[in-house]
Amino acid sequence: MPKLYVEVSEIMAAVAMLMTPAKITKYSKDFQGLVDFLKEGKELADSNKVEYGSPADKTEFLKAFNPTEKDFLREAAIGISAANSIRGWVPSRSRESGVPIQNMVCDKVYLTGDTWPKEVQKYQVEAYGFKSYNSSDMICRWGDSFYGVSLKKKPMISSPDPTIINKAFDSVLQSDNPNEIKEYAKIKKEVIAARESYFARVVREAVKEKKLYITGNTPLPSDDKKLMAISLQEKKGKNRKLIDLKGIGNVDLSKPKDQADRRIFGENFTKGDLRNPDISLRAFVNAKLASKDSVYNAMISVMNKHSEVFAKALLNLVLIFDAENIKSKHS
């Protein structure tokens, strides 16, 4: 797929929400249908029915409507699937809100990436440790009703569902109560220490398994905090921690701003390379995170110790309501 800095499936889902269910059913039947979907989709994406965070975002999204690229056709199918799922959810939710939605074609769609369109910026609320509590990839509008949608992909129907919570556990611990602020600060330190210890261990394992080679006269520090504080200059103004390096290569800790082996930053690597643990530290780390030996297991003792606090925070996060006054009842 040609490299775009936007997520193509988002614009595909957006334009699908502006088409009738019958039409996208027809478009999803065969190859020619997906080609026709892209043709109509581009017209909708270029109309006033889709709002973007910036003109640059719009320009980038419009590049995706190229039927000669098979990857864009695949993303079109993903977008149609997402639209079908949204339409399965919105009617019941709209009845609960007291403003039933009958027409499955929404009036307008807003793409809400790093920058939200002006009309919906008022819904970008900061709460519970989130800069954007109403985290959405897109917002669909029917009249005065707005529905935010966060899109998640999985490669196959049988694959595990993607995680719903994409948030550091310690950062959801927020309060205006002075006593709770003190308590939360202590818990956050425990979580951070557990996380530091885990990732420092992963870096050391990477060195042991020859995923990184420490050269020069400066060895890896034995202190976890110091190890995790090491920052290598990838390019002017941009640094990377050891755990965030991309490719397998040589690291000279004595010259953090002058790394001779640029493979560690993934230079000249393809997306496929970065998924190969034999040549990619990123792939090695991701495999660790997806295994039973994950960072969550490293933090589980802290979470169990403060289970009631985390339960309240996660209720706020997942169910979107204030669990401030909820009290745990133990049988």
> What tens digit of pLDDT does each residue of 84-112 get?
999 988 888 888 788 888 889 999 999 98
* Region for 164 from its dihedrals, namely left if φ exceeds 0, alpha if ψ lies in -120 to 50, beta otherwise: alpha
pLDDT level of residue 201 (50, 70, 90 thresholds): very high
Longest Cα–Cα distance of the chain, Å, equals 70
Predicted local distance difference test score (pLDDT) of residue 319: 59
Q: What average pLDDT score do residues 174-190 get? A: 79
How long is the chain?
331
pLDDT level of residue 258 (50, 70, 90 thresholds): very high
5-34 burial: b if 16+ Cβ within 10 Å, else e: ebbbbbbbbbbbbbbeeebbeebbeeeebb
Q: What average pLDDT score do residues 164-184 get? A: 67
Q: Which of 9-13, 245-249, 288-292 shows the lowest mean pLDDT across its residues? A: 288-292
CA atoms within 13 A on the CB side of 282: 17
Site of tokens 């017209």: 43
Predicted local distance difference test score (pLDDT) of residue 65: 96
Rounded to whole angstroms, the Cα distance separating 184 from 187 reads 5
CA atoms within 13 A on the CB side of 177: 7
- Token readout for 69 is 């690229």
pTM value is 0.56
Percent of the chain scoring above 70 in pLDDT:
84
pLDDT in tens, 274-287: 889 899 999 999 88
pLDDT level of residue 212 (50, 70, 90 thresholds): very high
Q: Residue ranges of the domains in the chain? A: 8-149, 167-331
168-207 burial: b if 16+ Cβ within 10 Å, else e: ebbebbebeeeeeeeebeebbebbbebbbbbbbebbbebe
Question: What 8-state DSSP symbol labels residue 131?
Answer: S
pLDDT in tens, 27-64: 999 999 999 999 999 999 999 999 998 899 999 999 99
pLDDT in tens, 286-315: 888 888 888 888 888 888 888 888 777 767
Contact 245, 162 (CB under 8 A): no
222 has a pLDDT exceeding 90: yes
Rounded to whole angstroms, the Cα distance separating 233 from 267 reads 13
Predicted local distance difference test score (pLDDT) of residue 131: 57
